[in-house]
């Protein structure tokens, strides 16, 4: 059988997945560090900027918040300073959602700490 005689339909799902794994590994190994960084940037750019709809925006917002952790508010302020308040596309609903999410997280931490303290008081 030649390469043209075989197509993806001839392989089982597991075989096709294994071939994909081999291809991915080969592509990565053939790339320089610079190429890998460019590729990762392209993927992140598509993933983050290519969001559609409120649900995907919320997911990205949460991902950014988790990444920046305690510096998230500072990063928001930096973005507002750089681009001006009118150019930052954060709706009141998104700000409200972020604030509510932050309050919930603080409550969870406080409750967790309270439970921990309760058990440590022995």
Which parts of the chain have pLDDT scores under 70?
1-3, 83-90, 116-122
As a whole number, the mean pLDDT across the chain is 84
Distance of CA 67 to CAs 10, 29, 30, 33, Å?
42, 27, 29, 23
Dihedral in degrees, nearest 10, Cα atoms 72, 43, 85, 104: -40
Residue 4 confidence (pLDDT):
72
- Res 120: pLDDT: 66
What does the pLDDT read at residue 84?
A: 62
Would you state the pLDDT for residue 52? 83
Q: Where are the domains of the chain?
A: 53-120
**Would you call 94 exposed, middle or buried from its count of C-beta atoms within 10 A (0-12, 13-18, 19+)?**
middle
Q: How confident is the model at residue 94, as a pLDDT?
A: 76
């Amino acid at each position: 059988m030649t390469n043209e005689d075989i197509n993806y339909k001839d392989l089982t799902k597991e075989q096709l997945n294994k071939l994909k794994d081999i291809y991915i590994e080969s592509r990565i190994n053939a790339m320089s560090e610079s190429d890998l960084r460019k590729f990762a940037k392209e993927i992140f750019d598509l993933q983050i900027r290519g969001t559609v709809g409120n649900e995907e925006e919320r997911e990205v917002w949460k991902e950014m918040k988790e990444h920046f952790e305690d510096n998230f508010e500072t990063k928001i302020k930096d973005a507002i300073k750089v681009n001006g308040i009118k150019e930052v596309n954060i709706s009141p609903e998104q700000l409200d959602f972020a604030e509510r999410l932050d309050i919930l997280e603080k409550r969870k931490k406080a409750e967790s700490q309270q439970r921990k303290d309760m058990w440590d008081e022995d």
